[in-house]
Amino acid sequence: MFEIVILVLVLTVQAAWLMIPAYISNPMAVVLGGGKPIDFGKNWIDGERILGDGKTIRGLTGGTICGIIAGIIQMQISPLNTLFVSPPLIAVITLSFGALFGDIVKSFFKRRMRFRRGAPLLLIDQLDFVLGAWVLTYIFDPVWFIDNFTVITMLVILVITPVLHRLTNILGYHVKLKKEPW
Ligand code: CTP
Ligand code: MG
């Protein structure tokens, strides 16, 4: 029993470790966001905004850079132990940028469905950035992705991410960084 608890704990920590660039870039976009929207305020052919004011250039670039910095720190730490793998730089970049790219793609479809900015979409709001990070990483480094993101690791991530996401957003809401606690 004790061994199983330890095994699950190690698996969870290792899964979270792989996602750190995405786990940093996503909330840092909220912290650093504001200013010019990525769609420059323009509308799509349906008359709705392409992405909306919630997706800004500063959020995208600032968030991506923070995620990459976190990943570079991971690359320095991992050779010191056997528990954590060292992500290649390309994966660090695709995990950070992919997370925000996934969030942008979601907003694009949210606007097409005429959801106002900030309207909640259960699970999609929590997992958009995970899917974006995975897809871009798979495209740019499929060998590393398949080696490290096993089915069990991905399942762990799908379970822990909405919980972590919810906790950070409640925190973000209380420190007044976010307008909604989701
Ligand atoms: N943010 C940003 N740039 C990004 C992502 C997020 O500036 N690329 C900032 C915005 O201030 C945004 C806040 O973080 O309002 C929260 O992000 P999110 O929940 O993803 O956006 P919403 O405002 O909820 O918009 P949407 O309905 O399009 O998801
Ligand atoms: Mg939102």
Closest C-alpha residue for ligand 1 atom 19? 118
* Residue-averaged pLDDT of the chain: 96
pLDDT: which is higher, 79 or 10: 10
Per-residue pLDDT, 180: 79
Query: For residue 182, is pLDDT > 80?
Result: no
Does 128 sit in the ligand 1 pocket, CB within 6 Å? no
Ligand 1 center to residue 164 CA distance, Å? 17
pLDDT of residue 30: 95
Q: Which two tokens stand for residue 10?
A: 């190690």
Residue range 91-128, pLDDT digits in tens: 999 999 999 999 999 999 999 999 999 999 999 999 99
Query: Amino acid identity, residue 97?
Result: F
The domains of the chain are located at: 2-174
For residue 50, which ligand has an atom nearest its CA?
1
CA distance 44 to 36: 17
Give yes or no for residue 49 CB within 6 A of ligand 1.
Answer: no
Whether the pLDDT of residue 79 is over 90: the answer is no
Q: For residue 82, what is the DSSP state?
A: S
